Amino acid sequence: MPATEQPSSFLGRISTRRNQVISMDGAHEQELEDLELFQKQVSERFSELVPPSSSDDVSSETFLSIAWLRKLLDEFLCCEAQFKALLIMGRDPSQIVKPPLDRLVPEFLDRVVKALDICNAVLHGIESVRQFQKLAQIAISALEQSPIGDGQVKRARRALNTLITSMAVEDKDFSNSKSAERSWSFGRRGGAGAGSGTATPLHKDRIAGQFRSLSWSMAKGWSAAKQIQAMSSNLVVPRGGESSSLPQTVYLMSTVLVFVMWTLVAALPCQERGGLTTYFPVSKQISWAQSMIGLQEKIADEWKKKEKKGSAGLLEEMQRMEKLSQSLIEFTDSFAFPLEAERQAEVTEQVAELAETCKKLEDGLVPLQQQIREVFHRVVRSRTEIVELLEYTAKASSPIV
C-alpha cells in the first residue's frame, strides 16, 4: 500500500535533522518541529480513512470492510515506525528516564502488552468469521441448484439458522458467559432441532457449545472491553510541565495504539465487548485527532445499533452476510414448490450477492491475519528495543561501587 512508502522518507528527514541538531545546539526547537511533522502526518493518515460524506463520492474501501481495516493497520505501522524514530534515533538515552517520561514510557509499554493480547484475541475471532463463511457457502451450494427443491431448501435453512445463531452466540455469550476457557469443536451434529425450520432451545444450547469461539486460548474472565478500558484509563493529555515534545509524542502514539485496537475489537468477533463505546475518550481540543474522533464517533454509533441486536462485529462483510442470511431464511420458511419465476430471480440475486461476500472473506481474511501478526511482531520488537534502552541507561547511570 502507498502509505508504507512514507516512513522511509520520514526517517530520513528525522535522521538529517538529528545530525543538524548535533551541530546546531537547537535541540528543543528541532524536537518541536519533529513533533509538528509527526502530528501533521498522523492527521493526514487518518483523514484518508474517513468515509465519504456523500454517496456520490467514490472510495476504494468500504468503511469497516476488510480492505479498510488493512489500510488502518498499514497506517498504524507507518505511525509506529515514525514514533520509534522520534523516541530513540540520535537521542541522548538519559532523556527517556527523566520525569515525566520515566512514567509515561513505562505506561506506554504496558499498553503495548495489552495490545498484544488484543491482537491474539482478534486473530482467534477471524477464525470464527471463517467458520461463518463456511456455513454461508453450504447454503449457497444448496440454493444454487436448479430447480430448487425441498431437500436443498432444508439444507440451506439448517446452515443459515446455525450461522445466525452462532453470530449471536459470539457476541452475547462473550458478554455474559461465566464458562471456563473455550475450545472449538466445529463439525459436530446439531442434534435435536437441527433439521427443523427454526432452532429449538436445545439446538441453540448445542450451537452455543460449538460456537463459543474457534481455538479460544484467552483466560477465563478475559475481556476485550476491560482491556481497552485499562489501556485508556491513564491516557491523559500532557499539560503544564509535561507538555514538551517527547511527552506529546508518547501521548500521540498511545492514542493511535488504543484507537486501532478499539477498532479491531469493534469490527471482529472478540471475547466480551459489552459497553465498548464508553472506554475510549479522545479530547476534542486536539487538532491532529479530529479525523480520529470523527471515525470513533461513527464506529461508536454503529456499535450502539448492533449491540442492541446482538452481532458478532461491525465488519462490513459480516454485516452483509448477516442481512442476506436473514432474508434467505425468510425465503426458506415460506418456500413452496414450484417456485415462481419472479421469486426465483430474487433469490438467485441474493445468493449471488452472498457468494460475492464469501469470496471477499476468502480472499481477504488471510492477508488481514498476516497483517495483524505483523503488527504484533513489530510492536514486540519496538518494545524490546525501548526496554533494552531503558536498562542500558539505568546501568550507565548507576554509581560504580
Q: Is residue 22 part of a domain?
A: no
Residue pair 20/46 in contact (Cβ under 8 Å)? The answer is no
Q: Is 46 exposed, middle or buried (0-12, 13-18, 19+ CB in 10 A)?
A: buried
Q: Is residue 53 part of a domain?
A: no
Residue pair 217/124 in contact (Cβ under 8 Å)? The answer is yes
- pLDDT, residue 75, reads 98
What's the rounded Cα separation, in Å, for the pair 288 and 130?
A: 36
Q: How many structural domains comprise the chain? A: 1
pLDDT in tens, the chain (401 residues): 444 445 555 445 545 444 444 444 467 788 889 999 999 999 999 999 998 875 545 455 799 999 999 999 999 999 999 999 999 886 788 888 889 999 999 999 999 999 999 999 999 999 999 999 999 999 999 999 988 899 999 999 999 999 999 988 765 544 443 332 333 222 333 333 334 444 444 444 444 444 444 434 577 789 999 999 999 999 999 988 677 899 999 999 999 999 999 999 999 999 888 888 777 778 888 999 999 999 999 999 988 887 766 567 899 999 999 999 999 999 999 998 888 889 899 999 999 999 999 999 999 999 999 999 999 999 999 999 999 999 988 887 766 55
Q: Is residue 315 part of a domain?
A: yes
Q: Is residue 273 part of a domain?
A: no
pTM, entire model: 0.84
Q: Is residue 338 part of a domain?
A: yes
Q: Is residue 229 part of a domain?
A: no
- pLDDT, residue 26, reads 63
Range of the domain at 334: 126-219+311-364
- pLDDT, residue 60, reads 58
Q: Is residue 164 part of a domain?
A: yes
Identify the CA nearest to 73 among candidates 268, 252, 263.
263
The pLDDT tens digits of the residues spanning 167-209 come to 887 655 444 433 323 332 223 333 333 344 444 444 444 444 4
The pLDDT tens digits of the residues spanning 246-305 come to 999 999 999 999 999 999 999 999 988 888 877 777 888 899 999 999 999 999 998 888
Q: Is residue 369 part of a domain?
A: no
Residue written as cell 488481514? 368
